[in-house]
Amino acid sequence: MAALMQNEAFQVALWAMVKVGIILGVMLGVVSYLIYAERKICGHIQARTGPNRVGPLGLLQPIADVGKLLFKEEFIPAGANKVVFHIAPILAVFPAIVTFSVIPMGPPPMFVVTDINVGLLLFLAMSSLGVYAITLGGWSSNNKYALLGGLRSSAQMISYELAMGLSTIPVLLRTGTLSLSGIVDAQAGQLKAFDTVLPLPNWGIFHWYLFLPFFIFLICSFAETNRAPFDLPEAEGELVAGFHTEYSSMKWALFFLGEYMNMIVICSIMVTLFLGGWHGPGVDKFAPLGLVWFLTKLFALLFFFIWVRWTYPRLRYDQLMGFGWKVLLPASVVNVMIAAVWLYWRANA
Number of residues that bind another protein (CB under 8 A): 28
Contact call for residue 151 and another protein (CB under 8 A): yes
The residues with which 193 forms a beta bridge, in sequence order, are 196
Query: Could you tell me the smallest distance in angstroms from the CB atom of residue 26 to another protein?
Result: 26
By beta-carbon proximity to another protein, the closer residue of 139 and 260 is 139
As a whole number of angstroms, the distance between CA 67 and CA 59 comes to 14
The stretch near another protein (CB under 8 A) out of 128-136, 186-194, 235-243, 266-274 is 128-136
147 touches another protein (CB under 8 A): yes
100 near another protein, rule: CB under 8 A: no
Shortest reach from residue 247's CB to another protein, in Å: 18
Rounded to 5 degrees, φ, ψ at 283 are: -70, -35
| SS3 label, residue 193 | strand
Told to check if 7 binds another protein by CB under 8 A, we report: no
Stretch that binds another protein, among 173-181, 188-196, 266-274, 331-339 (CB under 8 A): 173-181
Residue 131 touches another protein, criterion: CB under 8 A:
yes
* Among 12, 16, 28, 158, interactor with another protein by CB under 8 A: 158
Among 20, 54, 121, 308, binds another protein (CB under 8 A): 121
Nearer residue to another protein within complex by CB, 80 or 298:
80
Backbone angles phi, psi at 288, to 5 degrees: -60, -15
Find out whether 314 and 232 touch, Cβ atoms under 8 Å: yes
Q: To 5 degrees, how large is the angle CA 96–CA 265–CA 220?
A: 105
Quick check: 161 binds another protein (CB under 8 A)? yes
Any idea what DSSP says for residue 206? G
102 to each of 92, 256, 287, how far by Cα in Å? 19, 23, 19
Answer yes or no whether residue 118 interacts with another protein by CB under 8 A: yes
Q: How many CB atoms lie within 10 A of CB 311?
A: 10
Examine residue 177 and tell whether it contacts another protein (CB under 8 A).
yes
**Rounded Cα gap, residues 307 and 38, in angstroms:** 9
What span, in angstroms and rounded, lies between the C-alpha atoms of 102 and 182? 12
Using CB under 8 A as the binding rule, whether residue 90 contacts another protein is answered as: no
- By CB under 8 A, name the one of 42, 45, 124, 333 that touches another protein: 124
Candidates 170, 182, 214; CA nearest to 336 is 170
Residues in region 49-88 near another protein by CB under 8 A? 81, 83-84
In whole angstroms, how large is the CA radius of gyration of the chain? 21
98 binds another protein, rule: CB under 8 A: no
- Cα separation, 31 vs 34, in Å, equals 5
Q: Would you tell me which residues interact with another protein (CB under 8 A)?
A: 81, 83-84, 116-118, 121-122, 124-125, 128-129, 131-132, 135-136, 139, 147, 150-151, 154-155, 158, 161, 176-179
